[in-house]
């Protein structure tokens, strides 16, 4: 009779160990994998009423979205060309036309320093900075980067912008 009792006790101990081990190794929430990297370039150009043009600023880099559709990361090298100051960068999601108005959900507005952290190379010849970031926004349909450049014209100080909008394939 001692053998069945020992088996029962051993079985109970094995079950208790298995249950406590399962509690210690609780499942964690899976993180979405990073998808394809998309290259992007934004050129801000001022066009005068006479037709002459002046390149004010530029951004080149990449954006990468996660396959869960809720996060993206980016790296952009932003430079001043003939703009009065270093360009500014706006990061947003869900950009598009609502009636006759362009709307977006702003996430970041980045004012770059007027001192370079990167040596400029053509087509850049002014202050150059590399900006990296990662943002999360639930179920966004697209990501938007807006580059702002400025200059003085015959009518005064003018700000010009150019945008890149990339769809979220997830």
The pLDDT tens digits for 14-66 are: 555 554 554 444 455 556 799 989 999 999 999 998 999 999 999 999 999 99
For residue 136, is it within any domain?
yes
Residue-number span of the structural domain to which 46 is assigned: 34-167
For residue 56, is it within any domain?
yes
For residue 2, is it within any domain?
no
The answer to whether the CB of 107 falls within 8 A of the CB of 94 is no
Kindly report whether the global pTM for this prediction surpasses the value 0.85.
no
The pLDDT tens digits for 137-156 are: 999 999 999 999 999 988 89
For residue 157, is it within any domain?
yes
In what order do the strands lie in the sheet containing 128-136? 34-47, 53-66, 71-80, 128-136
For residue 4, is it within any domain?
no
DSSP lists the bridge partners of residue 129 as 78
What's the CATH code of the domain at 122? 2.60.40
For residue 144, is it within any domain?
yes
Domain count, the chain: 1
């Amino acid at each position: 009779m001692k053998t069945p009792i020992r088996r029962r006790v051993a079985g109970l101990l094995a079950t208790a160990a298995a249950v406590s081990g399962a509690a210690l190794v609780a499942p964690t929430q899976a993180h979405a994998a990073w998808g394809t990297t998309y290259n992007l370039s934004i050129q801000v150009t001022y066009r005068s009423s006479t037709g002459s043009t002046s390149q004010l600023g530029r951004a080149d880099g990449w954006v990468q979205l996660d396959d869960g559709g809720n996060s993206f990361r980016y790296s952009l090298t932003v430079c001043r060309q003939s703009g009065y100051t270093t360009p500014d960068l706006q990061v947003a999601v869900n950009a598009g036309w609502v009636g006759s108005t362009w709307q977006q959900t702003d996430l970041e507005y980045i004012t770059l320093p007027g001192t370079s952290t990167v040596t400029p190379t053509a087509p850049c010849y002014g202050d150059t900075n590399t900006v990296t970031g990662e943002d999360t926004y639930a179920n966004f349909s697209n990501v938007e980067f807006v580059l702002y450049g400025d200059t003085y014209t015959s009518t005064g100080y003018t700000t010009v912008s150019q945008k890149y909008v990339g769809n979220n394939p997830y």
